[in-house]
């Protein structure tokens, strides 16, 4: 058998991190060499080939820079990334050829396909809005997935020369029309009992297309996380979105 990939998990005590630890332990080609949570010394991850970060938006970027310095590939599921923080990682990686970082707002395969289908359809519908629905312990809104979805929809509509969704609202309570992500309205629901869900609503005169994805359990993210771990070393530089590993990018 070829050598196993040495894996470190950051945020290992969390909802996602603990699920990832079990998934790595269950994979014959992976070896769990470090589990870290808040307060642990990041240098414990330096012996890994790949580190997986499911921490919190406030710390994920500094974790990634430290791991790049240590020459460790990184698979990032933590959300909260913006254009500036991604640009800083891209610049850092330019000085560390061979190191790969994959940032994916959603590792559930169905969610990645839902985003891709929505972006393809978006140029053909007059109206489009995104609704994301999550458990109430989530700290960021709107979800990273919804922002990634809206950005892809906006890019597809711009490329096709489609204008903004029609909206006659002139009077509103703050927030009633949701957040504006690249011109696409995004609404966030927080409800006990939910895990991670997204609907993309597309409307034309006389018809509606609804694309919906549901993660009922965090195990849904594991095939995508493991795919990222196995492939990140062959994708030097920064990759944003699992779609690029599924030939959907």
Ligand X SMILES: O=C(O)C1=N[C@H](C(=O)O)CCC1
- Assess contact for 134 and 193: CB atoms under 8 A: no
Q: How far is the CB of 161 from ligand NAD (least distance, A)?
A: 32
Contact between 149 and ligand NAD (CB under 6 A)?
no
Does 213 count as an annotated binding residue? no
List interacting residues with ligand X (CB under 6 A): 79, 105-106, 134, 138, 143-145, 196
Q: Report the alpha-carbon distance of residue 32 to residue 19 in Å, rounded.
A: 13
134 binds, among ligand NAD, ligand X, none (CB under 5 to 8 A by kind): ligand X
**Residue 37 is labelled as binding a ligand:** yes
DSSP 243: G
Burial environment of residue 230 by CB neighbours within 10 A (0 to 12, 13 to 18, 19 or more): middle
The verdict on whether residue 79 carries a ligand-binding annotation is: yes
Question: Are 143 and 188 contacting, i.e. CB atoms less than 8 angstroms apart?
Answer: yes
- Helix or strand or coil: residue 150? helix
Give the integer Cα–Cα distance in Å for 200 and 88. Answer: 31
The residue among 171, 174, 182 whose CA lies nearest residue 148 is 182
16 is in an annotated binding site: yes
Judged by CB, which is closer to ligand X: 100, or 144? 144
Question: Min. distance of Cβ 192 from ligand X in angstroms?
Answer: 13
Rounded CA-CA distance 128/186 in Å is: 10
Q: Which of residues 88-127 bind ligand NAD (CB under 6 A)?
A: 104-107
104 is in an annotated binding site: yes
Within 10 A of 212 (CB to CB), how many other CB atoms are there? 13
Nearest 5°: the CA angle 160, 105, 165 is 30
Please pick, among 134, 148, 197, 213, the residue that the annotation labels catalytic. 134
Active site residue 138: yes
The minimum distance between CB 123 and ligand X, in angstroms, equals 24
Choose, by CB under 6 A, the member of 37, 69, 182, 214 that binds ligand NAD: 37
The answer to whether residue 213 is catalytic is no
Judged by CB under 6 A, the stretch of 7-15, 26-34, 122-130, 183-191 that binds ligand NAD is 7-15
Cα separation, 84 vs 195, in Å, equals 29
Cis peptide before 142 (omega within 30 of 0): yes
Which residues in the 53-82 window bind ligand NAD by CB under 6 A? 54-57, 59, 77-79
Q: Which does 11 bind (CB under 5 to 8 A by kind): ligand NAD, ligand X, none?
A: ligand NAD
From the annotation, which residues make up the binding site for NAD(+)? 11-16, 37, 77-79, 104-107
From the annotation, which residues make up the binding site for (S)-2,3,4,5-tetrahydrodipicolinate? 135, 144-145
Residues serving a catalytic function are 134, 138
């Amino acid at each position: 058998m070829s050598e196993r990939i040495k894996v470190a998990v950051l945020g290992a005590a969390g909802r996602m991190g603990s699920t990832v630890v079990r998934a790595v332990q269950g994979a014959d080609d992976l070896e769990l060499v470090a589990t870290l949570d808040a307060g642990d010394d990041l240098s414990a991850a330096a012996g890994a080939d790949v580190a997986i970060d499911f921490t919190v938006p406030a710390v994920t970027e500094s974790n990634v820079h430290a791991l790049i310095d240590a020459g460790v590939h990184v698979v990032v599921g933590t959300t909260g990334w913006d254009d500036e923080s991604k640009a800083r990682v891209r610049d850092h990686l330019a000085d560390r050829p061979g190191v790969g970082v994959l940032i994916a707002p959603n590792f559930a395969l169905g969610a990645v396909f839902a985003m891709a289908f929505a972006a393809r359809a978006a140029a053909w519908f007059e109206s489009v809005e995104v609704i994301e629905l999550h458990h109430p312990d989530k700290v960021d809104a709107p979800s990273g997935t919804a922002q990634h979805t809206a950005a892809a929809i906006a890019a597809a509509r711009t490329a096709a020369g489609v204008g903004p969704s029609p909206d006659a609202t002139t009077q509103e309570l703050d927030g009633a029309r949701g957040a504006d992500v690249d011109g696409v309205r995004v609404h966030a629901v927080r409800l006990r009992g939910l895990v991670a869900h997204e609907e993309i609503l597309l409307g034309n005169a006389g018809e509606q297309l609804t694309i919906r994805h549901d993660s009922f359990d965090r195990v849904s993210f594991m095939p995508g996380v493991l795919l990222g771990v196995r492939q990140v070393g062959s994708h030097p530089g920064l990759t944003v979105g699992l779609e690029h590993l599924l030939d959907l990018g």
